[in-house]
Structure 1
Amino acid sequence: MTKTGLFSLALAFALISCSGSKTEESQDSSEMQETEVSQTTSVSNNSGTLGIIDAYLAVKDALVADNSSDAAEKSKALTEALNAYDIASSQGEDIEELERVQTEAAQFASNIASDDIAVQRESFQALSVLMKDFLKIAGADRTLYHQYCPMYKNNTGGMWLSASSDIKNPLFGSSMLNCGAVEDTLTVNL
């Protein structure tokens, strides 16, 4: 079998394993999660992002639990933390880009205050892309895992950050809780 054939077979298996079918057997064995990391990105050590990361992870956990009202409530603290971040104290090299990302991230965080969980999840996915960019410039206080689900948004895919390599998908919640893989690890330079 050619390398292309093997790749196609592996890709098909990954897509089938995230299909969301819910038989008792598939719930335990075929709803696979990949935790093998494909790359590692180093970020500077910055305890100033602690409140932002904590608030972001609280919103993620609410969406994992399919709790729209909790996600909306937690998004307020996230929006406040993003708006309060002192860019001038950042050790990042690209301050102008950091300011742009901060502004956009705060806007998406405020959109999560919606009472529609589909809107919340779409805003959260866009926020997650910005959060990764923000933390790559500003730094982080802990290791975070960039996780990716290929099934999100009609198979265009979506990502989020997690404090654990275990897959708990906030973009689908309980309907496809374990669909996804770790694509990158943001590690803190000590």
Structure 2
Amino acid sequence: MKKSLLFALALSVALFSCGGKTEQEESHEGHDMEHSSGHESEATPTSTSRNMATTAMIDSYLAVKDALVADNQAEAASKSDALVTAIQNFDAQAAEEHKAKALEEAKKLASGDIAAQRESFQALSVTMKDLLKVAGTDRTLYHQYCPMYKNGSGGMWLSAKEEIKNPLFGSSMLTCGRVEEVIAMN
């Protein structure tokens, strides 16, 4: 009896620590989605237009991320053109320094082998996170971190999904990583 109880307790702790959601959390998430979608007009025009301005940049960034997850160097390079254009077109009044750094790293994605692309992508990810925290985002993003990248010094990226798909290692360590922070729409 004691062993069964201890096993159940250990299993509960393991599920909770691995990100399992309780029924109450899932219900609350659904309520939030219903609530927010019904009241979009309450957002201030400034925050809405600011969030919409980041859409092309985020879409392009995520396309490059997905190409690196798939170990596709050529696609990452081709998708980087749209990312460079989106960053160039982004009006970053409050985030000019972040925009300049992001543009510099995005341009590096067009050439080099996939290892060099991944290194540039990781540096770009740090800058994109900082830029989006200042400029705002049009969607919830997940700041994800892999402690194994760069011989244990770690690396991060942004994802539109909570599920880990590691662009820094691709198929060799696809699920290595964890969510460090949720960057909410603002």
Partner of 1:31 in structure 2? Answer: none
Task: Give the equivalent residue in structure 2 for 1:164.
Answer: 161
- The corresponding residue for 1:118 is 115
Q: Which has the higher contact order (CA 8 A, sep 6+)?
A: 1
Tell me: CA distance 1:52–1:146, structure 2 relative to 1, closer, same or farther (3 Å): same
- 1:151 matched to 2:148: yes
Provide runs of 4+ in structure 1 moved above 2 Å. none
Q: Displacement of 1:86 after TM fit?
A: 1.4
Q: What's the offset of the Cα at 1:114?
A: 1.2
**Cα shift readout 1:70-114 (whole Å, capped 9, x = no counterpart):** 0000011101100111124xxxxxx2xx10110110110010011
Amino acid of the structure 2 residue aligned with 1:112: L
Given that residues 167 and 177 in structure 1 are in contact (C-alpha distance below 8 angstroms), is that contact kept between their aligned partners in structure 2? yes
Number of aligned positions between the proteins:
142
Tell me the amino acid that sits aligned with residue 79 of structure 2. K
Counterpart for residue 8 of structure 1: none
Any idea what SS the aligned residue of 1:188 has? coil
Which is worse superposed, 51-60 or 77-86?
Answer: 77-86
The one of 67, 87, 104 equivalent to 2:101 is 104
- Identity rate of aligned residues, in percent? 62
Secondary structure of the structure 1 residue equivalent to 2:163: coil
Q: Output the amino acid matched with 2:91.
A: D
Tell me which of 66, 71, 83 is aligned to 1:66: 71
Q: 1:55 deviation in Å?
A: 0.1
**In the alignment, which residue of structure 1 is the partner of 2:89?**
84
Partner SS state of residue 86, structure 1 = coil
Deviation at 1:48, TM superposition (A): 0.6
| Unpaired runs of at least 5, structure 1 | 1-33, 37-43, 89-94
RMSD: 1.5
Distance in 2, matches of 1:52 and 1:129, equals 14
Alpha-carbon distance between aligned partners in 2 of 1:119 and 1:173, rounded to the nearest angstrom = 13
Higher relative helix content: 2
Ranges in structure 2 where 5+ consecutive residues have no aligned partner: 1-17, 21-46
What's the TM-score, normalizing by structure 1?
0.72
The one-letter code of the counterpart of 2:81 is K
| TM-aligned CA distance change 1:59 to 1:101, over 3 Å | same
* In 2: Cα distance, 1:160 partner to 1:115 partner: 19
Contact in 2 for aligned 1:144/1:187 (Cα 8 Å): yes
Does the alignment pair 1:188 with 2:185?
Answer: yes
Residue of structure 1 in register with 2:38 after alignment: none
**Matched letter for residue 86 of structure 1:** D
Residues 35, 167 of structure 1: 8 Å contact kept: no
Higher Cα Rg, which structure: 2
Counterpart CA distance in 1 for 2:175 and 2:69 is 10
